[in-house]
């Protein structure tokens, strides 16, 4: 049984409000020393997204890494999965660090750590970094310094990554002006992903504002696909929406329809099946996937395995059951021949490849099913108390499940990175979904609401 982590989150690295522990200078420096010890003072690479706080966090983390003789290569501003691919592709690199809070607002930041093969640390490896961190001890703290975001010229990384993608997808010809609307959430993909797409001959119309260090995920990106859906419909072009570190992707088609992670998995599963490349005819989804999507895949002859949220757990299950494909409803898509994590830029190129191979619009590949009505509630909590210990919770869930009469479900879990309880309610009747969700929300707010 894995021990409970104290600074790393349940799903994806360290994440916190900037200026709160552990994202304060003395704590970040201590983390740098621990990371250097974990990698035995060998060379690692570091990068960040477009948050202004990433500048000082990177500087202080590097100071800690170098304190005991570690060496660091600074990649500047890059998407998380690009860092992973570069770490895995270069000789002599023992690990990597990405400073990002993914889809969170600019007031947050975090640290993700990768092994030399580009894969995220396992739970056990994160616990080892924590052990080193607490053994070192935090020194005298100071206030976080002022930092200003400045964009980077990542021409070399763009060329390196583009060539890796070209070889992986066997792209021989460019896409000859194929149109794309891009919304990169004013994040790490704003310049990088656009330039990769343009390197493949795609004509990109970008709608997210230029990053300024404060506007990452601010009303744009994968969390707000309605903006890019409207542009897609207006111009008759596909849209690609990324999150702040460009590992998540949501796509919109030429008719303005939003393709969530479920629909993207279905698109990829159908394509890989046609190439006899969907190993074991199996895909991995999470508990947040819509039941209608699961049934659609089953009707294609695909076996669906389910796991808890987190692309790391999707990848682990894929390996366990011999599958190459999985994903989260939110847009993290796992394709193991590429990597054990999600990469929004690569997925956008794979979708372009599918469209080119089939000689059709993305809209023509829309899976003909309707999602069951569902809604999610994210409730601020003061403590992550086990749900079984909350008075009336089990009884309320049992009563609601009975009301659905087999045509609905309730799934609740605490966020791995925030003090929130997320409740998903799904059923055939939207009014009942709303009623059940509001009832459970009120109960949680009464018992442990912040």
Give which of 134, 84, 170, 142 is closest to 350, Cα–Cα.
170
CB contact at 8 A, 402 and 427: no
Q: Rounded to 5 degrees, what angle do the CA atoms 113, 114, 119 make?
A: 140
What does the DSSP 8-state code read for residue 39?
A: T
| Count of beta carbons in the 10 Å neighbourhood of residue 4 | 7
Give which of 14, 80, 78 is closest to 211, Cα–Cα.
78
Spell out where 18-101 has E strands.
Answer: 44-48, 72-77, 95-99
Rg of the chain over Cα atoms, rounded to whole angstroms, equals 22
* Residue 81 burial (10 A CB sphere; 0-12, 13-18, 19+): buried
What phi-psi label fits residue 180: left (phi over 0), alpha (psi between -120 and 50 degrees) or beta? beta
Q: What are phi and psi of 303, to 5 degrees?
A: -85, 130
Q: Is the peptide bond before 70 cis (omega within 30 degrees of 0)?
A: no
The question of whether 16 is a catalytic residue gets the answer no
Q: Catalytic one among 53, 102, 193, 289? A: 102
CB contact at 8 A, 224 and 201: no
Residue 355, C-beta contacts closer than 8 angstroms, at least 6 positions apart = 178, 238, 361, 362, 365
Residue 305, helix vs strand vs coil: strand
Give which of 61, 3, 4 is closest to 34, Cα–Cα.
61
Residue 345, C-beta contacts closer than 8 angstroms, at least 6 positions apart = 79, 81, 82, 161, 165, 189, 192, 193, 196, 197, 242, 246
Alpha helix stretches (DSSP H) within 277-392: 291-299, 311-321, 344-358
CB contact at 8 A, 214 and 272: no
Which residues are marked as active site? 102
């Amino acid at each position: 049984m894995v021990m409970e982590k104290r600074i790393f989150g349940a799903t994806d690295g360290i994440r916190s409000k900037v200026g709160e522990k552990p994202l304060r200078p003395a704590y970040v420096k201590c983390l740098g020393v621990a990371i250097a010890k974990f990698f035995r003072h060998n060379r690692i690479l570091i990068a960040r997204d477009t948050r202004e706080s990433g500048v000082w966090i990177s500087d202080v983390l590097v100071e800690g890494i170098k304190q005991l003789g570690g060496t660091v290569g600074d990649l500047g501003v890059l998407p998380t999965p690009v860092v992973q691919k570069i770490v895995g592709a270069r000789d002599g690199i023992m690990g990597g660090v990405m400073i990002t809070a993914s889809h969170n607002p600019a007031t947050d930041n975090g640290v993700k750590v990768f092994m030399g093969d580009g894969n995220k640390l396992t739970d056990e490896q994160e616990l080892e970094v924590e052990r080193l961190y607490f053994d070192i001890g935090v020194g005298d703290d100071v206030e976080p310094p002022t930092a200003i975001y400045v964009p980077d010229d990542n021409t070399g990384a763009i060329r390196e990554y583009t060539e890796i993608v070209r070889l992986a997808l066997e792209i021989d010809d460019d896409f000859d002006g194929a149109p794309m609307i891009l919304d990169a959430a004013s994040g790490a993909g704003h310049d990088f992903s656009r330039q990769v797409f343009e390197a493949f001959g795609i004509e990109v119309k970008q709608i997210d504002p230029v990053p300024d260090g404060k506007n990452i995920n601010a009303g744009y990106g994968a969390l707000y696909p309605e903006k890019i859906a409207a542009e897609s419909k207006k111009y008759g072009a596909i849209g690609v929406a990324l999150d702040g570190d460009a590992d998540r992707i949501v796509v919109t088609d030429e008719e303005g329809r939003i393709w969530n992670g479920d629909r993207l998995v279905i698109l990829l599963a159908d394509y890989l099946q046609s190439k006899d490349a969907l190993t074991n005819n199996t895909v991995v989804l999470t508990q947040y996937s819509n039941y209608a999507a699961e049934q659609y895949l089953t009707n294609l002859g695909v076996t669906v395995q389910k796991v808890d949220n987190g692309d790391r757990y999707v990848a682990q299950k894929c390996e366990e059951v011999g599958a190459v494909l999985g994903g989260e409803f939110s847009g993290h898509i796992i394709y193991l021949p590429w990597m054990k994590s999600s990469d929004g830029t690569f997925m956008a190129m794979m979708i372009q490849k599918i469209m080119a191979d089939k000689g059709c619009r993305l809209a023509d590949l829309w899976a003909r099913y309707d999602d069951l009505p569902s809604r999610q509630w994210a409730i601020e909590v003061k403590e992550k108390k086990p749900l079984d210990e909350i008075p009336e919770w089990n009884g309320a869930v049992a009563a609601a499940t009975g009301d659905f009469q087999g045509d609905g479900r309730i799934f609740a879990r605490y966020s791995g990175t925030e003090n929130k309880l997320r409740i998903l309610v799904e059923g055939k009747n939207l009014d009942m979904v709303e009623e059940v969700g509001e009832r459970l929300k009120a109960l949680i707010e009464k018992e442990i609401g912040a």
